[in-house]
Every structure is written in C-alpha cells, then in structure tokens.
Structure 1
Amino acid sequence: MSLNSRLKQVSEKLNLLQPIWQQERNLRTSYIEEDEVFVHQPVPSSQLDDIESRHGINFPEAYRAFLEQIGDIVVGPGLGMEPLEKSIYQHSSESFPLDRPFLGELSIEHQSLPESEKRESYLSLGKQWDKIPKEHGVLLIADYGCAIYAMLVLNGPMIGQIWMQQGEVSYYGPYGGYEGFDDERYTFEGITNTPSEYYFLEWYEFWLDVQIREWVDLEE
C-alpha cells in the first residue's frame, strides 16, 4: 500500500471514530482538553521545515506526511500522543544508540535462567540499560504510564520504527510484544528474541483498529 493510500485509510478511520468519541466522551485520553482531542489541523510544511532546522532533525517520511495531512493530533495509543514540540529532546539530533534491540529481562536468555541466577543477570542488565542514551535519535511519541514510553526512531537502520522503553525490565526495542498494552484481547505469542517491528503508521493504525472494534462494533 502506498503512503498516501495508507494515510487516507488512517484519516477515514479517524473520521469514523470521532463522532462516537464526541458522543460518548469516554475514551482513554479523556483527561485531555476536549478541543485538543478532537481538533487536529494539518501542520504546514514550512512550519515542519522550521522545526527540523531549529532542532537539527529530520522527521521520518511517514510521520512527516501524517503531520502534514492529518495533523499534530494527541488522541492515540497509550495515554495519548505527545504534542510535537514537547516530543523533541535536546539530544534528538544525535545518532540513535542501538543497532539491535536491547531485550533485557524479556530476552529468552534471561527468562531461561534458573531463579538462583536471575538476580545477578537482573543487576547486570540494569547496569547496561543505564548506559544507553535514552533521548538520542528519538522523539517521545507516547507515554504509556508506569515509566513505559513509545519512541519514534529518527535516524539509523531503524528509522521510522516505534521502539519501547521500559526501565523496569531493562527493555529498549520494537513495539512487538507490547500490543496488549493497546488491545486487551491481544494474544501474546510468548517471549522472542526477534520482536515484531512496527513503523509509525502501522503502530497508529493498529490502535485505531482496536478503537473501531471497541467503539464502532459496540454502536452496531
């Protein structure tokens, strides 16, 4: 599917959901001001150029197209999408620090250890986790609560992907495996050392599809 076709599909799904959200006033991001939830204007290309220039970053193509065609929208996965200007770190222009997922306690190797050896592994993984620059080469795209964050990778081999940070288990890797945070019905397929990769629009549309099932199907 082309980028424009996918964005059109995302826009249609948002348009389908918004009247229901407005009627029910009971979505996960209801703590956000009403206008912020439902009003989203496309961001002019010149404004995005200025933001990129000021911060020394380049938005991944699909994310930039989303901002230009749909807007700087806050309704989304987790506790809602971070507003664009608040999502940028001082070190967002730096190189993304990882060339492979840091699976931490979610790795098969750690999970397979005898209980007597897990504490030592836990401490070692925690020290390695602490050394990873968490704000380099990313935008904070969504907060899931409990110190779990969705990051949009801005550069390097994983550019455009959504990676999750969860310090409690020393995990910094793809969204795959975290689907249950957005979909209570999601069936977790078990620990893997190769979590599924989600690019921005895949991640956002996955959440939209869950919302359609929960709200539109309920209405019908």
Structure 2
Amino acid sequence: MANWDADGIRVRIRELAARDPDRQRFGARTHGYALAPPLPASEVRAFEETHGIALPAEYRSFVAEAGDGPAGPGHGLMPLTAPRPDADGEWAADDEWREDRLPGRLAEPFPLTQPLPGRIAARAELTRGTLMLAELGCGMFFRLVLNGPRAGEIWQIDPDWGGFVPVSPGFRSWYTDWLTSP
C-alpha cells in the first residue's frame, strides 16, 4: 500500500510539536515539526525522468501526498526537487543533496548487497544509487536505496564507526517509526 493519510500525519506532527515546545527531541530545532506541502505528481515524474530512476513507491507517494519534508527523522527530511530555502552550503546535508543530483548518480547501481560495518574510506563510491533522506550529524546520513536487490530499503551511513548498514525495510516503516516514537 503506497497511499498516505496526509491529514493524520499532520495531526501527529502537531501532537509531537505540542509535547515538545522547547524542541528538545533530536532534530526538532532543525525541522521545527513543519511539513512542507506535497509536490505535484508532475514534478515528481519530472525528477524521475531527469535522473533516469523510479523512486520507491512508499517514498514517491509520501512526497506527492503528505509533504516534501522537513519534519522527520534525524534533522528532518531533505526536499526532493529544490534545495532547502536556507541552504547556504554550510551543512553537510546540503553538499550531499547537491551531490545526489549530479547527472547519472542516482541511476547508478547501488554497489552493496550486504551491510558494510566499520570505518568507511570511499563514502561517495558507496552511496551511488541512493538518495540522501536525512542527516544525523557528524557525517551520518539516512539514505534510500533506489535500485538493485536492496531497492526501497533505508540504510544509515556512519563513515567513522557504524559503516553502511540497513536500518529499515522501507520508507513507510522508517517514517512511521519516527512518527510514533516518544
């Protein structure tokens, strides 16, 4: 099932914000419990055509039905088609966002079939065929696998300690876990 209850998501985000008025929950000061409007389906299709990919259905439907970030895990969801309005190049996430949009990068095969624990030297080579969804800080990111046998999974990359490992079978469970966590 790919459809989302956008009204229910917005209600839940308002509840989270009401319980956290001082923005103490991790990432809340960055995303501010704000959910941008959804993207028009034509804009999502144009993104896919430009990059030669098909977004996993759960993510595709989220940005087209619920919203294009930022409220979400980590420091919040990165927007799909346009950089953050306040992007000034000082956040690592902004650089990752721009790198993902280089011609052909998202359509390349995801190079891993198994988790890669431990320190990582060649991060840029490993993230081909994935879309950065959110930053955790300290060079750690959540990434959505776009192609190959792991397509649709969410992986976390932590080049210093944790490696590059799957953390969720799909966008729906990953995002819903964030929505329902205390």
Q: TM-score, normalised on structure 2?
A: 0.77
Give the % identical residues: 29
Question: Is the helix fraction higher in 1 or 2?
Answer: 1
Could you tell me which residue of structure 1 aligns to residue 121 of structure 2?
A: 130
Alpha-carbon displacement from aligned partner over 1:50-84 (angstroms, at most 9, x marks no partner) = 11112222211111011111020201111111111
Task: Report if the CA contact (8 A) 2:135-2:141 is conserved.
Answer: yes
* Separation in structure 2 between the aligned mates of residue 69 and residue 205 of structure 1, nearest angstrom: 15
- Structure 1 gap segments, 5+ residues each: 105-125, 176-196, 215-220
Question: What is the CA-CA distance between 1:11 and the residue it aligns to?
Answer: 4.7
Question: What is the CA-CA distance between 1:17 and the residue it aligns to?
Answer: 3.0
Count of residue pairs brought into register by the alignment:
160
Task: Report if the CA contact (8 A) 1:160-1:200 is conserved.
Answer: yes
Alpha-carbon displacement from aligned partner over 1:185-204 (angstroms, at most 9, x marks no partner) = xxxxxxxxxxxx43111011
- Structure 2 gap segments, 5+ residues each: 84-96
* Separation in structure 1 between the aligned mates of residue 155 and residue 35 of structure 2, nearest angstrom: 27
Could you tell me which residue of structure 1 aligns to residue 108 of structure 2?
A: 94
Could you tell me which residue of structure 2 aligns to residue 207 of structure 1?
A: 178
Output the amino acid matched with 1:198: P
- 5 Å-filtered alignment, 1:21-40, equals 21=17, 24=21, 26=23, 28-32=27-31, 37-40=33-36
- Of structures 1 and 2, the one with the larger relative CO (CA 8 A, separation 6+) is 1
Question: What is the CA-CA distance between 1:30 and the residue it aligns to?
Answer: 2.3
Runs of 4+ in 1 over 4 A off after TM superposition: none
Query: Residues 138, 46 of structure 1: CA spacing in aligned structure 2 closer, same or farther, 3 A cutoff?
Result: same
Query: Residues 89, 169 of structure 1: CA spacing in aligned structure 2 closer, same or farther, 3 A cutoff?
Result: farther
Question: What is the CA-CA distance between 1:137 and the residue it aligns to?
Answer: 0.3
Structure with max Cα Rg: 1
Query: Residues 38, 25 of structure 1: CA spacing in aligned structure 2 closer, same or farther, 3 A cutoff?
Result: farther
Question: What is the CA-CA distance between 1:22 and the residue it aligns to?
Answer: 6.0
Q: TM-score, normalised on structure 1?
A: 0.65
* Separation in structure 2 between the aligned mates of residue 96 and residue 13 of structure 1, nearest angstrom: 30
* Separation in structure 1 between the aligned mates of residue 16 and residue 165 of structure 2, nearest angstrom: 34
Output the amino acid matched with 2:130: V
* Separation in structure 2 between the aligned mates of residue 208 and residue 170 of structure 1, nearest angstrom: 24
* Separation in structure 2 between the aligned mates of residue 100 and residue 67 of structure 1, nearest angstrom: 28
Could you tell me which residue of structure 2 aligns to residue 84 of structure 1?
A: 80
Task: Report if the CA contact (8 A) 2:112-2:126 is conserved.
Answer: no
